Amino acid sequence: MVTDAPTTLLKPSDMGAEDPRLPGDRYARQALLAPVGHDGQRRISRTRVLLVGCGALGSGVADLLVRAGIGHLTIADRDYVELTNLQRQSLFDEADVENHLPKAEAAAARLRRINGEVVVTPVVADVNAGNVEALVASADLIVDGTDNFETRYLVNDAAVKLGRPWVYGGVIGSYGMTMTIRPGATACLRCVFPEPPAAGSAPTCDTAGVLGPAVALVAALEAAEALKLAVGADASLNPDLLAVDAWQCAFDRIPRPARRDDCPTCVRREFVFLDQRAPSQTTVLCGHDAVQVLVHPPVALDLAALAARLCVVGEVNSNRFLLRFREGADLPRELTVFPDGRAIVKGTTDPTEARVLYARYVGL
């Protein structure tokens, strides 16, 4: 049908500054989603998120949250970028490997280029009982991007103690799972899994591998839960333990039990992981053939001076974030030392050997 009625073009002034249809609004499509809307987008822009770990899961979560316009993202990660990370850790590239960058710093630089409106704070540190409360206290919610149960139980302690919701997630092989925990409203991690798995009893990425698409699936689910928490959509949160197998294309919803009457964490409020104020001195790192060595209390190393000492006995590469030292061309062992005295000793999974190498080249 032909009509003589003129075409009406809406101007920004006609629609108002809050209209999600504005072409210049980067969040327009997100704000059009009814459960989000303008009010939800404003809530998202005011939310502070702590991301613990920025490897495979953390990369995916961070990318999605920053693109969604989260207000402030703190990334706490102890590791540096390696070539084997690039298969599944979407924030990093070969230049990050060549420049020996810590993951938190490399991720922050990339995320700031993606969305300059979001405040991204990198924290290059091991999350342990000495610093986790301060990190959690500065956030409205926490997202799990770590690769070990020790840190997850520590985060659970701090989150319950301070009343912060957090999103648990993990992936191994092609299988992953996630669960959203709201202290006081849902069962906590120790209600569901009373104790961490015994050492050596669970598969690792060294033995089972990791499928990139499985990581992407769980990261997307975690990010969605974080956004629901940000906008206050509690009724839409995942109520159970959600498991997914990307290879078999299988999804399972495992009913989460109610809060345990005898839960030592959320009922008796005994924070045994948090109260271990002197962190473990050595930790075997998943996927690295490496051991992390901690010094307690942390120190302030002069990396330039250390480089000058070590260059006469081996190969040294350093920047302001870390120093990398290799004993010799024919020796596979390598030390990556951070300004707080922490080191990652690569080429061994023996904690004793790692401490010997640390004492020999850095000093204890």
The whole-number pLDDT of residue 330 equals: 62
Question: Is there a domain that residue 12 lies in?
Answer: no
The whole-number pLDDT of residue 69 equals: 97
Write the DSSP assignment of 214-277 as a string of letters.
HHHHHHHHHHHHHHHHHHT-GGGS--SEEEEETTTTEEEEEPPPPPPTT-TTTTS---TTTT--
Domain count, the chain: 2
Asked if 300 contacts 314 with a C-beta cutoff of 8 angstroms, the reply is no
- Residues 350, 243 within the same domain: no
Which residues touch 303 (CB under 8 Å, ≥6 apart)?
A: 318, 320, 322, 323, 337, 339
pLDDT classification of 356: cutoffs 50, 70, 90: confident
Q: Where are the alpha helices (DSSP H) in 277-333?
A: 303-310
Buried residues in 183-203 as b, exposed as e (16+ CB within 10 A) = beebbbbbbbbeebeeeeeee
What are the pLDDT digits (tens) for 13-23?
Answer: 333 344 443 34
The whole-number pLDDT of residue 64 equals: 98
Range of the domain at 235: 21-254
- Residues 106, 238 within the same domain: yes
What are the pLDDT digits (tens) for 71-120?
Answer: 999 999 988 998 989 999 999 999 999 998 999 999 999 999 999 999 99
| Choice among 54, 188, 205, 263 that is catalytic | 205
For residue 37, give both structure tokens: 């809307």
Whether residue 205 lies in the annotated active site: yes
Rounded Cα distance, 328 and 295, in Å: 25
Question: Is there a domain that residue 300 lies in?
Answer: yes
Q: Which of 16-30, 159-173, 335-349 has the lowest mean pLDDT?
A: 16-30
Domain end position, chosen among 239, 254, 269: 254
Question: Is there a domain that residue 297 lies in?
Answer: yes
Question: Is there a domain that residue 57 lies in?
Answer: yes
Q: Helix axis angle, 56-68 relative to 103-114, nearest 10°?
A: 30
The whole-number pLDDT of residue 204 equals: 62
For residue 191, give both structure tokens: 């209600």
- Residues 176, 102 within the same domain: yes
Asked if 119 contacts 71 with a C-beta cutoff of 8 angstroms, the reply is yes
- Residues 209, 327 within the same domain: no
Averaged over 226-243, what is the pLDDT?
97
What are the pLDDT digits (tens) for 297-333?
Answer: 778 899 999 998 888 888 999 999 999 998 866 667 8
Rounded Cα distance, 93 and 350, in Å: 30
The β-bridge partners of 326 are 315, 334
What are the pLDDT digits (tens) for 253-295?
Answer: 999 999 999 999 999 999 999 987 666 677 878 767 899 998 8
**CATH code at 90?**
3.40.50.720
- Residues 222, 347 within the same domain: no
- Residues 160, 42 within the same domain: yes
- pTM of the predicted structure, to 2 decimals: 0.81
